[in-house]
Amino acid sequence: AAVCIAISSAAAATSVNTTDFVGCLALHLPPGIVYTQSSESYSSVLEFSIKNLRFVTPATPTPLVIVKATHATHVRVAVRCGAAHGVRVRPRSGGHDYEGLSYRSLDAARSFAVVDLAALRAIRVDVRSRSAWVESGATLGELYYGIANKSARLGFPAGVGPTVGVGGHLSGGGFGLMLRKHGLAADHVVDAIMVDAKGRLLDRAAMGEDHFWAIRGGGGGSFGIVVSWKLLLVRVPATVTVFTVHRPRNQSASDLLTKWQHVAPALPRDIILRVVVQNQDAQFESLYLGRCAGVVATMTKMFPELGVTRRDCIEMSWIESVLYFAFYGTGKPKELLLDRGTKPDRYFKGKSDFVHEPIPRDVWESTWSWFLEDGAGLLILDPFGGRMGRVASSATPFPHRHALYNLQYYGFWWDNTTEASEQHMSWVRGVHREMEPYVSKSPRGAYVNYKDLDLGVNEYGGDGGGTSYETARVWGEAYFKDNFERLAAVKAKVDPSDFFRNEQSIPPLGLPGGLKS
Ligand code: FDA
């Protein structure tokens, strides 16, 4: 259906008319997909994709309206009505944003709407061309399941969490256990269909290469709403091998972590050996794209101190390995990958760094005393090298490919008290502060998919405009280094009125909304 809603560009930035906005949606959308705050099921629709209890509070500014799109036209209507009546729209795919920016804002004074894509989740796999079209609202688990159902010899190199949404994940780069062999998830996007700030439906050819570059890692919520992605799938062997070995503090964990930093980024690219450090234990987890004998031989040669033997190996299919790492165990039904979950179950706060020089042993030794007694804090070390190091830093917006590893700090808790929140938030922030001397500098890096508002937020000027480029550089260059300026230039071209804006969206370079200095 044609989408004929007049947009005045001035209206997008200044005059806000929420009643007319809701009227516009009601006029152009079918009943049953628009939820206002007075709708009976507003809360359940809102909470369906929330993963962090920190943002389920009466004080959290939530959307004026949620449009649960079931067709690309619905996304176009929401954008056009929003632009015509001055109500900004935030897309939500899987709702895993670490700061909840797909469904909450920090600013109670400004109304916004959410286009929820959870029902736009079709997956079409073409085995012959080794490609797939996947809609943004699909989860990674649904994507992996859809691929495995068509071929046991194809896979996709994206993240570990099965409930993560394809839309936000690909928008921020996305990495998982095949990153050393195949790089980022976004490296495998060859086309996309998106709705831009004018409400037009564009494919790669229509949006142009700069815009297409920006959506593959420049962070979600800045450049439009991607409805679907064309992915090139990768070949996986019939049999892969996994192992998990625990090495507690009193069994040389500090020595092993120190050596791991040299070994893991230099292993053959068919092997990833990541570490989860929790409480007084280092858990070494590995996926090898081959059989047990191969990984044991390599580990014996390159990392004998870890003491991996054949008994540690479990051979399985690639899809079983996805389940293994998602749910920590074997023999689970594939259908678990289709479970999106329906309620947030924990509070969490994450932060991240990139490490370029191995961290000294005495620092690892001191980290043990930082852990909280309840064990509810993790460090996750994902090694790079392999394919990651072979791609130019400017090939996509993700600039950190040449790091030794990504270091994530992740605090979580279940207790609904201010004390619990303060304790765990300050744990994450404290560990991040302690690590400053040992991680990337000038700027200190961070991974946009582990969004962190501690790095700074966009400032809004008067009269509804004025996201400052200079302010945004502080966090923008942490996420994107030199690519930040190019992202801001693309933003100025494709969304000069800064319609797609959130607390850490890319400002338009050189325009009133985004003055450079
Ligand atoms: P959500 O819907 O919240 O969107 C995130 C951001 O993208 C928001 O700004 C949103 O507006 C925007 N956006 C969403 N859909 C869009 C669309 N269609 N077009 C344009 N913008 C859009 N990361 C990783 O690299 N590897 C991993 O293994 C994991 N594992 C993991 C596990 C768990 C439990 C969590 C909570 C998170 C991860 N992540 C991760 C981080 C994850 O990749 C990141 O949070 C993604 O942005 C989440 O995408 P969603 O679509 O779920 O989020």
pLDDT tens digits along 25-51: 999 999 899 999 999 999 999 999 999
pLDDT for position 341: 80
The residue out of 455, 482, 504 marking a domain boundary is 455
CA of 305 to the centre of ligand 1 (A): 36
Question: Ligand 1 center to residue 460 CA distance, Å?
Answer: 24
Dump pLDDT digits (tens) for 185-211: 999 999 999 999 999 999 999 999 999
Residue 180 has pLDDT above 70, yes or no: yes
Q: Which residue has the higher pLDDT, 341 or 155?
A: 155
Nearest CA to ligand 1 atom 45: 97
**Inside any domain, residue 403:** yes
pLDDT in tens, 285-325: 999 999 999 999 999 999 999 999 999 999 999 999 999 99
Buried/exposed 26-49: b ≥16 CB within 10 Å, e otherwise: eebbeeebbbeeeeeebeebbbbb
Round the average pLDDT of the chain to a whole number and report it: 93
Which protein residues are within 6 Å of ligand 1, measured from CB?
51, 90-98, 101-102, 117, 136, 159-161, 164-165, 167-169, 171-172, 174-176, 220-221, 225-226, 449, 502
Return the half-sphere exposure (C-beta side, CA atoms, 13 A cut-off) of residue 315.
11
Which amino acid, 508? P
CA of 497 to the centre of ligand 1 (A): 25
Average pLDDT rounded to a whole number, residues 494-514: 87
Instruction: Please report, for the chain, how many H helices and E strands are present, in that order.
Output: 16, 18
Residue 332 counted as domain residue: no
Tokens of 376: 């509810």
The residue to mutate among 76, 164, 229, 450, having the most atoms of ligand 1 within 8 angstroms of its beta carbon, is 164
Domain boundary among 49, 83, 116: 116
More confident residue, 463 or 65: 65
CA of 179 to the centre of ligand 1 (A): 17
Tens of pLDDT, residue by residue over 69-93, are 999 999 999 999 999 999 999 999 9
Model pLDDT, residue 243: 98
Between the CA of 45 and the centroid of ligand 1 the distance, in Å, is 18
Q: How far apart are CA 440 and CA 353, in angstroms?
A: 7
Structure tokens, 306: 């870890």
Q: Which atom of ligand 1 is nearest to the CA of 174?
A: 25
Which residues, other chains included, contact 118 with Cβ-Cβ below 8 Å and sequence gap of 6+?
Answer: 48, 49, 68, 92, 93, 94, 95, 137, 165, 340
Task: Look at residues 71, 91, 116 and tell me which one is the last residue of a structural domain.
Answer: 116
Task: Tell me the CA–centroid distance for residue 206 and ligand 1, in Å.
Answer: 25
Pick from 247, 250, 305: which is nearest to 276 by CA? 247
Is the pLDDT at 464 greater than 60? The verdict is no
From 92, 228, 378, give the residue whose CB has the most ligand 1 atoms within 8 Å, as the site to mutate: 92
Nearest CA owner, ligand 1 atom 29: 159
Quick: pLDDT tens for 89-109. 999 999 999 999 999 999 888
> Residue 334 falls within a domain, yes or no?
no
Query: The domain containing residue 81 runs over which residues?
Result: 18-116
pLDDT of residue 466: 60
CATH code at position 308: 3.40.462.20
**Atom of ligand 1 minimally distant from the CA of 225:** 19
Say if 370 falls within a structural domain.
yes
On whether residue 48 sits in a domain, the answer given is yes
Q: Give long-range contacts, CB 8 A cutoff, 24+ apart: 293-296.
A: 294/241, 294/270, 295/241, 295/243, 295/271
The rounded percent of the chain whose pLDDT value lies above 90 is 86
d(CA 426, CA 432): 10
- CA 369 to chain centroid, in Å, comes to 30
Does 199 reside within a domain? no
| pTM across the whole model | 0.96
Query: Which secondary structure element, helix H or strand E, spans residue 314, and what is its range?
Result: strand 314-316
Looking at the domain assignment, is residue 239 inside a domain?
no
Quick one: which of 5, 142, 135 has its CA closest to 71? 135
Both 110 and 251 in one domain: the answer is no
Confidence tier at 459 by pLDDT (50, 70, 90): confident
What's the pLDDT at 450?
A: 98
The CATH number covering residue 83 comes to 3.30.43.10
Give the Cα separation of 456 and 446 in Å (integer).
12
- Closest C-alpha residue for ligand 1 atom 34: 161
Question: pLDDT for 221-260, tens place per residue?
Answer: 999 999 999 999 999 999 999 999 999 998 899 999 999 9
If you measure from the C-alpha of residue 64 to the centroid of ligand 1, how many angstroms do you get, rounded to a whole number? 22
Cis peptide before 397 (omega within 30 of 0): no
Q: Angle 293-296-297 (CA atoms, 0-180°, nearest 5)?
A: 80
- Best probe residue, ligand 1, of 48, 62, 88, 93 (max atoms within 8 Å of C-beta): 93
Q: Tell me, yes or no, whether 280 lies in a domain.
A: yes
Question: Mean pLDDT across the stretch 17-27?
Answer: 94
Q: What is the mean pLDDT of residues 265-284?
A: 96
Number of domains in the chain: 2
Least confident of 4-13, 38-47, 243-252, 416-425: 4-13
Please tell me the distance between residue 131's alpha carbon and the centre of ligand 1 in angstroms: 22
> What's the gap in Å between 294 CA and the centre of ligand 1?
34
The token pair at 111 is 């109304």
Q: Which of 304, 330, 353, 302 is nearest to 479 (CA)?
A: 353
Q: What is the pLDDT of residue 7?
A: 66
